[in-house]
Structure 1
Amino acid sequence: MAEIKNASSAAAADNAPGVRARRKAQRPQEILHAAFDEFVERGYTATRIEDVAKRAGVTKGTIYLYFQNKEELFQDVVRKLSQPIFNEEQFWLEHQSRPCDQLVRLFLDTVYEHMTVNPYSREILRFLISDGRSFPELTASHYDEFVKPTLTIFEHILEKGMREGVFRADAATSQMSYILLSPALTLTIDKLLDCQTDLPELNDYVNAHYEMIMRNIRK
């Protein structure tokens, strides 16, 4: 009897208005994470709304309460689960007193952690590479919100080194930033392709990338 009473109490607690309201508020995020997992596993084209609903533990109709269609769901996955690499104001607040060469290494470590280790950042890049043509506005906004700020903070690090006479006078250009950071994208794509090739250890790769940059920008 005690067990039945406890079970009834638990069920009543689960159905309390406050609990139901919290679950309803959490549901869009739960659906986004379920959709993310489906897109990773199946790809955008093969993913069906009913697959997302099953993974999220809701009905197909519930999905349509929050998202008009699969296209909107995909766009919200990319927009809302993307994570910025840096907060530039916070970065300078914490690290402005560091030597410029240390800032370059810290920047690289953070970029590689984000692009190759963080599953959301890594897989969202895959989504944009494979399906970005179908969503040009989404791709453009992702670049403006996440890629461009990363390039900008790198340029600001290089400019700091130029002002302090550590880096070459022509180190901080947008072209230079693209070129110097391209190995990070190369490794990320290699990992996404998963060709079972012998990729270098991440730390060794970052060390080599750092040395390459410093050889090119050190005064």
Structure 2
Amino acid sequence: MVGTKHARGPVVVDNELGPRALRKAQRPQEILQAAFEEFVERGYTATRIEDVAARAGVTKGTIYLYFQNKEELFQDVVGKLSQPVFDENQFLEQHQHRSCNELVRLFLDTLYEHMTVNPHSREILRFLIADGRSFPTLVSTHFDQFVKPLLTMFDRILQKGVREGVFEIWAEDHISQILISPALTYAIDMLLSADNTKLPELPIYINTHYEMVMRTVRKASV
């Protein structure tokens, strides 16, 4: 008598990562965060790979599994921990029914929060100021990916105001960059100041910045 073969049931694949695999998947991000904290505390030059490893709770050799050297680690800290200020399309769609004046104010409020409150954005600005000369490609890439879209979005808000007859702006290059430069000035002052109590109060500073922009772009008849 020939034995009957029993068909096997479907093979079930567990797609969930186990604790060790999950830990391994998270490790590069943990190393980047540890490196960020070391660069903040010590500066780029004084930071050592072994300091990053100790803070991340891994061996020095583990760092080199993911990053070739300190230079690459620094570039990934800046590139991968940087965060865009806005999702341009989402912002404009979400606030499409607001007036142009309100859009300018929302833009400035969000920009200042990003530059003064968000620790990654604030400290990465410090890194680029202090060590950007040694990483010109990194600075250029950061500008293209994070700064240029910001300027383009502000320009779109201004052009919307022009189309609606609310704003008028002169045909000069870099108008958006000029008009939002006080935000960069405030962020740099924060980085340089040992005592932030000597800085202008942020809400008052933002109000002044907003009024400056409005006086510049608002039509005289509006």
Q: Distance in 2 between matches of 1:112 and 1:44?
A: 26
1:42-101 CA distances to partner (integer Å, 9 max, x unpaired)?
000000000000000000000000000000000000010000001111011101111000
Superposed counterparts of 1:167-186, under 5 Å: 167-170=167-170, 173-186=172-185
Q: Please tell me whether residue 34 in structure 1 is matched to residue 34 in structure 2.
A: yes
Q: What 5-or-longer segments of structure 1 have no aligned partner?
A: 1-16
Superposed CA RMSD: 1.2
- 2:150 alignment counterpart: 150
Q: Which residue of 1 aligns with 2:6?
A: none
Q: Helix, strand or coil for the counterpart of 1:98?
A: coil
195-204 vs 17-26, which moves further:
195-204
Q: TM-score, normalised by structure 2?
A: 0.89
Asked which structure has the greater CA Rg, the reply is 2
- Unaligned residue ranges in structure 2 (runs of 5+): 1-16
Higher helix content, 1 or 2: 1
The Cα shift of 1:173 comes to 4.8
Shift of 1:175: 2.2
Show the 5 A alignment for 1:100-115. 100-115=100-115
Take 1:21 and 1:164, find their aligned partners in 2: how far apart are those partners? Answer: 55
Which residue does the alignment assign to 2:71? 71
Amino acid across the alignment from 2:199: L
Size of the aligned set, in residue pairs, is 202
Identity of aligned residues (%): 72
Q: Aligned runs of 1:1-219 on 2, under 5 Å?
A: 18-170=18-170, 173-196=172-195, 198-219=198-219
Letter of the 2:97 counterpart: S
Alpha-carbon distance in 2 for matches of 1:200, 1:139: 29
Structure-1 separation of matches of 2:218 and 2:63: 54
* TM-score computed with the length of structure 1 as normaliser: 0.90
Letter in 2 for 1:25: A
Q: Which moved more, 1:58-67 or 1:188-197?
A: 188-197
| Matching residue's letter, 1:186 | T
Q: What is the match of residue 7 of structure 1?
A: none
Q: Which runs of 4+ in 1 moved over 6 A?
A: none
CA contact (8 A) 1:155 1:174 kept: no
Superimposed CA distance per residue, residues 105-155 of structure 1 (whole angstroms, 9 cap, x where no aligned partner): 000000000011110000001000100011111100000000000000000
Post-superposition Cα deviations, 1:168-203, rounded to whole Å, max 9, x if no partner, equal: 153x75422111111000000000012436111111
Q: Which residue number corresponds to residue 12 of structure 1?
A: none
